[in-house]
Chain A
């Protein structure tokens, strides 16, 4: 199993979650975060904004679903056809074990 952490624009959060749900990946955890990226924030005149609000979508999936999930997120979190700076990043880490609290059963 792998954990996918996608940082996306807050206004793309809803559409990404809806599309993930219709692609069969309903379960997700969402956190509102602030951060900066490679462009070192946004600069307007002398003011640099380096705490830009984003949404972090976290979900744990089976290894074989990785390509599907990445495709859905990238397709819908992008701004326009070409994409733009600030559309976000996706991090993937491995997950050893998963437990459901209500049943205590291991596995997704």
Chain B
């Protein structure tokens, strides 16, 4: 048994849910979280989106610029959705591939991370089944 923890963009939640159903992992728990990733060292990666967001901003002062840059280069915490999925060992690659497929964007950064953790045991409350049968 494995626990798959995926931190994804909030606007990709419905796509992720759909993808999970399609690979046969319908059960999940989702949480609203705040997070940040690795610092963006190559400013060229975020230059284009920074320009778009700056054009959308109403006030054109220094603070707005600083805020947008901080959001994009990863120094600030930003909202994300955290999915927790329990899976049988053999289903893990399939589910990971589906989550990656659903969440990939052209922005190069900020698409999220997926962690796979071992699980010692699971119990279904209704039937008291434990182990692989509980998933």
Mark A residues whose CB is within 8 Å of B.
3, 17, 21, 26-31, 60, 93-102, 104
Cross-interface CB contact of B111 among A28, A95, A97, A102, cutoff 8 Å: A102
Q: With A30-B35, A96-B116 given, name 10 new contacts (CB 8 A).
A: A3-B115, A21-B75, A27-B35, A27-B38, A30-B33, A31-B32, A99-B100, A100-B113, A101-B113, A102-B110
Bitwise, B89-126 to A at CB < 8 A (1) or not (0) is 00010001001100111011111111111100000000
Mark B residues whose CB is within 8 Å of A.
2, 6-8, 31-39, 74-75, 77, 80, 82, 92, 96, 99-100, 103-105, 107-118
Cross-interface CB contact of A28 among B6, B35, B99, B104, cutoff 8 Å: B35
Cross-interface CB contact of B77 among A30, A93, A101, A104, cutoff 8 Å: A30
Please, how many angstroms separate the alpha-carbon atoms of A94 and B5 in the complex?
A: 13
Please give the distance in Å from B95's CB to the nearest CB on chain A: 11
Query: Known: A29-B34, A98-B114. Contact between A104 and B100, CB under 8 A?
Result: yes
Cross-interface CB contact of A17 among B77, B107, B118, cutoff 8 Å: B77
Cross-interface CB contact of B37 among A27, A95, A96, A99, cutoff 8 Å: A27
With a cutoff of 8 Å between Cβ atoms, the chain A residues found around residue B118 in the complex are 94, 96
CB nearest to A14 among chain B residues: B77
CB nearest to B116 among chain A residues: A97
